[in-house]
Structure 1
Amino acid sequence: MEFGRLITAMVTPFDSEGNIDWSTAEQLMERLIVDQQSDSIVVAGTTGESPTLTHDEKLELFKFAVKQANGRVKIIAGTGSNNTQASIELSQEAEQCGVDGLLLVAPYYNKPSQEGLYLHFKAIAESTKLPVILYNVEGRTGINISVQTTLRLAQLSNVVATKDCANLEQLTAIAAEAPEGFRIYSGDDSAALPALAVGAYGIVSVASHIIGKEMKEMINRYLAGDVAAAAKLHQELYPVFKGLFHCPHPTPNPVPVKHALSLVGLPVGSVRLPLAPITPEEAAFVAALKPIQARI
Structure 2
Amino acid sequence: MSLTGKDLRGITVATVLPFDSEGAIDWDGYAAVLEHCARPETTDCVFVNGHAGEATALTPHERTEVIRFTRDHIGAGRPLLAGVVPTGLPDATTQAEAAREAGADVAVIFPAEALGGGNAATGAPVAMMEKLARTLQMPLSVFQFPIASGFGFSTPVLAEIARIPEVIAVKEGSATLLAYDENRRAIRAAAPDVAILPSNFHWFFAQVALGGDGILSGLASLVPGLLANLWKASEAMDLAAMRAANDRLYPVVRAVYGPAPVIDMHTRMKDGLQMLGIIENADPRLPLLPQSAEIVEGLRRALITAEVL
Scaled by the length of structure 2, what TM-score is found?
0.89
Matched, 1:284 2:297: yes
| Corresponding residue number in structure 2 for 1:229 | 241
Question: Is residue 38 of structure 2 the alignment partner of residue 33 of structure 1?
Answer: yes
* Bigger helix fraction: 2
The answer to whether the 8 A contact 2:155-2:186 is kept is no
Identity, % of aligned pairs?
20
- Where do 1:169-248 residues align within 5 Å? 169-178=178-187, 179-247=191-259
Structure 1 gap ranges (5+): none
- Cα distance in structure 1, aligned partners of 2:154 and 2:171: 13
Structure 2 counterparts to residues 73-222 of structure 1, below 5 A? 73-108=78-113, 111=116, 112-113=119-120, 114-138=122-146, 142-166=150-174, 167-178=176-187, 179-222=191-234
Contact 1:135 1:163 in 2 (8 A): yes
Q: Is the 8 A contact 2:8 2:195 kept in 1?
A: no
> Aligned-residue CA RMSD in angstroms?
2.1
| Structure with greater contact order relative to length (CA < 8 Å, sep ≥ 6) | 2
Question: Which stretches in structure 2 are left out of the alignment for 5+ residues?
Answer: none
1:102-131 residue CA offsets vs partner (Å, 9 max, x unmatched): 111122465134222222222223322321
| SS class of match (1:47) | coil
Matched, 1:55 2:60: yes
**Per-residue deviation at 1:42?**
0.9
Contact 2:251 2:306 in 1 (8 A): no
Tell me the SS of whatever aligns to 1:252.
helix
Matched residues, number: 296
* 281-290 or 100-109, which deviates more: 100-109
The one-letter code sitting in structure 2 at the alignment partner of 1:189 is: F
State the Cα deviation string for residues 5-36 of structure 1 (Å, max 9, x = none): 10111011111111111111111112112287
Distance 2:290 2:148 in 1: 19
Greater Cα offset, 155-164 or 33-42: 33-42
Residues 238 and 274 of structure 1: CA distance in aligned 2, closer, same or farther (over 3 Å): same
TM-score by length of 1: 0.92
Aligned to 1:64: 69
The equivalent of 2:264 in structure 1 is 252
Seen in structure 2, the aligned counterparts of structure 1 residues 140 and 210 have a Cα distance that, compared at 3 Å, is: farther
Relative to 1, partners in 2 of residues 1:121 and 1:80: Cα closer, same or farther, differing over 3 Å? farther
Give the conservation status (yes or no) of the 8 Å contact 2:159–2:186: yes
Question: Distance between the aligned counterparts of 1:105 and 1:126, measured in 2?
Answer: 17
Superposed displacement of residue 80, structure 1:
2.8
Aligned-partner Cα distance in 1 for 2:228–2:113: 31
